[in-house]
Structures are given as structure tokens and as C-alpha cells.
């Protein structure tokens, strides 16, 4: 079992829709990172959170430590949101990120 | 700030050749990470440095891979000899503290023929 698991693997939405990507993680992970990778390949860190909720523009990330679950929400989705979204857990033991498989999001106009 | 700088952006080489990838982290960041991304395995940590010292190289696939950080502003990842299965995108990232946000470079797309 992977230490970080994401769902869904692929997601297609219409412009304007509310989008949720889920991530569950195992014991030993102290913080969750959400990354965005555009078709050009560059990786951008969106959020790093160890508790609660963070918001940046139309993006919201939440984490439930008891359930070991995090979600990334996109409100009023737009075609420019089309990208791969990667959840990564920070392993305290080993001081390293362990990555989920990514969610390919396509937002159609 | 220019962000993390990697060079070259693309590298095409033949099997058996030596390949050197370069990275300049963000000034003041004490942590530098090298990652590899493939379709089959996704993103994987190869090695990371703290204050120029290699801390964990357990992700380095085999002895053909080596990494150095001679000073705080420069790191190299070398593959010698290269093999077709090394074809991947190699990312460098830096961070001010462990567990903090990591800032990724644009990546080097390596193709070994």
C-alpha cells in the first residue's frame, strides 16, 4: 500500500464546476503538500498544511489529521486549472516527501 | 529572486555517455533535493542535501548515479554511464527548512538513446 494515495486518477469537469481531489495518507506523515504540474512540466507548490484549512484564490486545501485525509478544492473551475495535481506527504522519519500518483484534471470550456 | 535554476533543460545522449545535470538553489535555502519523474514511477526522491552535506541518498538507483554539492549555490547530478532506462525528467528543489514548501526548478528532460 502506498503511503500517499490520491483519487481520482483522472477528472474531467466543465468550466465553472466545483472540483474536489482527495488524498489519504499513512502514519508517520506529519504534513501534506499539494503540488500542481502544468502540461509544460513545471511543478509549483500550492499548499503545505499540517492542520486545518488554507485558501488561496479559488483553491482551498483541508486536512483532517484524525482521519489522515486531505482534500484540494477548486471553486469556479477554469480551463487554465487543467493540470496534474499531486499530493505529497512529509515523512518525519527520513525527512522526505513521498508522493501520490497524481490526479490529471481537465476542465473543458 | 530567480527561483531554482536547472541546466540543461533538455539533454539527448547516447547510451554509455556521461550526463551531468546542474542545479542552483534559491539563495538562503539550506535544503536541496534531487527528484526523478517517470510515467511508470511518478516522482521519486533521489538524494537530498542539508548545508551542502548529503543526508539521504537511499533513492539513488545504483552506482552509476552520483551527486555533489560543492557549495551552497551549486549542485550536480551525474550519471555515468547512462542507460535508456535513465530517460526521465529530473527536478531539483530547494527549501529553507525540512518539511517546508519546496521550490522546484523547471526540470531537465533527459533522453538516453
Q: Could you give the percent of chain B with pLDDT greater than 70?
A: 99
At which residue does the C-alpha cell 557549495 appear?
Answer: B71
Judge contact between A85 and A73, C-beta under 8 A.
Answer: no
Q: What is the pLDDT of residue A39?
A: 80
Verify whether the Cβ–Cβ distance B91 to A43 is below 8 Å: yes
Q: What is the mean pLDDT of chain B?
A: 94
Cα atoms in the Cβ-side hemisphere of radius 13 Å centred on B59: 23
The interface residues of chain A toward chain B in range 3-22, judged by CB-CB distance below 8 A, are none
> With 0-12 CB in 10 A as exposed, 13-18 as middle and 19+ as buried, what is B104?
buried
Q: In this complex, how many residue pairs, one in chain A and one in chain B, have their CB atoms less than 8 Å apart? A: 49
Could you tell me if B49 and B32 are in contact, meaning their C-beta atoms sit under 8 angstroms apart? yes
Mean of pLDDT values over B47-63: 92
Q: Which residues of A, range 21-80, sit inside 8 Å of B by Cβ?
A: 30-31, 33, 35, 41-45, 48
Please judge whether A44 and B45 are an interchain contact, meaning their C-beta atoms are less than 8 angstroms apart.
Answer: no
Confidence at residue B61, expressed as pLDDT on a 0 to 100 scale: 86
B72/A contact by beta carbon, under 8 A: no
Most confident of B12-26, B36-50, B57-71: B12-26
Q: Is B84 helix (H, G, I), strand (E, B) or coil?
A: helix
Helix (H, G, I), strand (E, B) or coil at A49: strand
For B29-53, what is the mean pLDDT?
A: 94
Tell me, what's the pLDDT at A1? 66
| Contact residues, chain B, for A96 at CB < 8 Å | 45, 48, 56
Can you give the pLDDT at residue B1? 63
Look at residue A80 and give its three-state secondary structure.
helix
Which residues fall within 8 angstroms of residue A94, CB to CB, at 6 or more apart?
B56
Query: Do the chains contact at A33 and B104, CB–CB below 8 Å?
Result: no
Average pLDDT over residues B48-59: 93
Residues of chain A with pLDDT under 50: none
Asked if the Cβ–Cβ distance from B99 to A42 is below 8 Å, we say no
Amino acid at each position: 500500500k502506498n503511503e500517499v494515495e490520491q483519487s481520482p486518477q483522472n477528472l474531467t469537469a466543465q468550466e465553472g464546476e466545483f472540483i474536489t481531489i482527495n488524498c489519504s495518507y499513512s502514519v508517520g506523515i506529519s504534513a501534506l503538500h499539494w503540488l500542481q504540474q502544468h502540461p509544460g512540466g513545471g511543478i509549483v507548490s500550492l499548499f503545505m498544511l499540517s492542520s486545518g484549512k488554507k485558501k488561496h484564490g479559488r483553491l482551498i486545501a483541508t486536512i483532517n489529521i484524525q482521519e489522515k485525509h486531505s482534500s484540494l478544492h477548486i471553486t469556479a473551475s477554469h480551463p487554465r486549472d487543467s493540470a496534474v495535481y499531486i499530493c505529497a506527504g512529509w515523512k518525519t522519519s527520513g525527512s522526505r516527501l513521498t508522493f501520490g500518483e497524481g490526479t490529471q484534471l481537465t476542465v473543458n470550456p | 529572486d530567480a527561483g531554482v535554476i536547472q541546466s540543461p533543460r533538455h539533454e539527448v545522449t547516447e547510451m554509455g555517455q556521461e550526463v551531468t545535470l546542474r542545479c542552483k538553489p534559491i539563495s538562503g535555502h539550506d535544503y536541496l533535493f534531487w527528484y526523478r519523474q517517470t510515467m511508470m514511477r511518478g516522482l521519486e526522491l533521489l538524494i537530498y542535501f542539508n548545508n551542502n552535506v548529503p543526508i539521504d541518498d537511499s533513492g539513488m538507483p545504483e552506482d552509476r548515479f552520483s551527486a555533489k554539492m560543492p557549495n551552497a549555490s551549486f549542485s550536480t547530478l551525474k550519471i555515468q554511464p547512462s542507460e535508456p532506462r535513465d530517460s526521465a525528467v529530473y527536478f531539483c528543489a530547494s527549501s529553507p527548512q525540512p518539511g517546508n514548501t519546496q521550490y522546484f526548478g523547471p526540470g531537465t528532460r533527459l533522453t538516453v538513446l
